[in-house]
Amino acid sequence: MKNRRFLLVFSLLLAIGMILGACGSSEGGSNESEGSGSDGGNGNSEEASEGDFSVAMVTDVGGIDDKSFNQSAWEGLQAFGEENGMEKGQGIDYAQSASDADYNTNLNRLVRSDYNLIFGIGFLLAPAIEEVADQNPETNFSIVDSVVEKDNVASIVFKEHQGSFLVGVAAAMKTESDQVGFIGGVDSDLINKFEAGFRAGVKSVNPDIEVKVQYAGAFDAPDDGKAIASNMYSQGVDVIYHASGGTGNGVFAQAKDLKQNDPDRNVWVIGVDRDQHEEGQIGDMNVTLTSMVKRVDIAVQDISTKAMNGEFPGGEVVEYGLEDDAISVATSNEEAMTDEIKTAVEDWKQKIVDGDVEVPSTQDEAKSFEDSL
């Protein structure tokens, strides 16, 4: 009899507990549903707690440690996170792409994780951003180095041709063979801006300097970059400017090999996007002449802050250039970048900012510019 009473009481307590648990679950579900709204969705992702602002980015095939474009973007997101008490997996994150096929997959995964703002790093992601943004109008996106005309997309572009002009001036003043090289990643309108500005800068100093140009066809092919650089250096080129992401790692590798074998040989690399001074270090020597620093980090941090403050520039094209300090020329190699070169670079920079020099941004404009010299 006592056993029966005990079982009855136990059953009643268990039933009451289940009813209370169901009520609690229902209330929690209601709040979680309210957390997903027109602000891009808050609340039910593993990465961000309910009500928190969160940002993520998708790399192109160069990867997060390409020592260039993607790495700079992640550094900007980390700086934003540090300012706002966030860290990887807790408010900020990234997804790496091994191939073009990963772009849509990565973007959609981050959308499902309810990030408020998602960056696509590089113009190669533009088609994927356009498609996913169209399918998810309540999420905000930003594309770097391209323009996507959607109300929920902020397009970030840079005046890369201006910075490329300035490193062209440095290359022209440094070359001893009167032969310099340009190695691009994918032959595209964007990378053509780098080439056009560089050629114009070189020719402005000395129209007789030969500029050899070759495109690798990829941003993640360091072996190809090394082979192209080897060919250029063997033909007498002594300064190479690369705008090729991870492919440029091979350019540095070749220059360092040559320098190690012959320390007296003058071979130089001009880096891109980040100050790539460290990439040129070999013992107590360094083959990095300078770098065209494109502050993707500043842009990513700026757009993230605007979005968090309710000022997301959706549907707008936001351009960064010399006047914003988002484009600059590195001077880390103090021995190589002599005072004479730095002074010349500053003089030309002022002319560009003042509007006295219009830097070409296409191959046709570059040819017209050269013809006018």
Domain boundaries 55-158, CATH class: alpha beta
* pLDDT of amino acid 324: 85
Buried b (16+ CB within 10 A) or exposed e, 237-269: bbbbbbbbbbbbbbbbbbbbbbbeeeeeebbbb
* pLDDT of amino acid 202: 98
Reduced 3-state DSSP string for the chain: CHHHHHHHHHHHHHHHHHHHHHHHHHHHHHHHHHCCCCCCCCCCCCCCCCCCCCEEEECCCCCCCCCCHHHHHHHHHHHHHHHCCCEECEEEEEECCCCCCHHHHHHHHHHHCCCCEEEEECHHHHHHHHHHHHHCCCCEEEEECCCCCCCCEEEEEECHHHHHHHHHHHHHHHCCCCEEEEEECCCCHHHHHHHHHHHHHHHHHCCCCEEEEEECCCCCCHHHHHHHHHHHHHCCCCEEEEECHHHHHHHHHHHHHHHHHCCCCCCEEEEEECCCCHHHEECCEECEEEEEEECHHHHHHHHHHHHHCCCCCCCCEEEECHHHCCEEECCCCCCCCCHHHHHHHHHHHHHHHHCCCCCCCCHHHHHHHHHCC
* pLDDT of amino acid 47: 46
* pLDDT of amino acid 69: 86
> Which CATH number, 3.80.10.10, 3.40.50.2300, 3.20.20.70, 3.50.30.30, labels domain 160-293+338-371?
3.40.50.2300
The amino acid occupying position 332 is S
* pLDDT of amino acid 10: 46
Question: Which region holds residue 59: left if phi is over 0, alpha if psi is between -120 and 50, else beta?
Answer: beta
* pLDDT of amino acid 66: 85
- What is the residue whose two structure tokens read 């800068």? 201
**Segments of the chain scoring below 70 in pLDDT:** 1-51
Answer for the pair 242, 253: CB distance below 8 angstroms, yes or no.
Answer: no
Answer for the pair 148, 170: CB distance below 8 angstroms, yes or no.
Answer: no
* pLDDT of amino acid 296: 94
* pLDDT of amino acid 282: 96
Q: How far apart are CA 114 and CA 129, in angstroms?
A: 16
Q: How far apart are CA 182 and CA 214, in angstroms?
A: 6
* pLDDT of amino acid 94: 98
Domain boundaries, the chain: 55-158, 160-293+338-371
The amino acid occupying position 110 is L
* pLDDT of amino acid 52: 87
* pLDDT of amino acid 34: 28
Does 55-158 match 160-293+338-371 in CATH topology? yes
Which candidate, 250, 244, 270, places its Cα nearest to that of 122?
Answer: 244
Tell if the pTM clears 0.75, that is, is over it. Answer: yes
* pLDDT of amino acid 33: 27
Count of C-beta atoms within a 10 Å radius of residue 285: 12
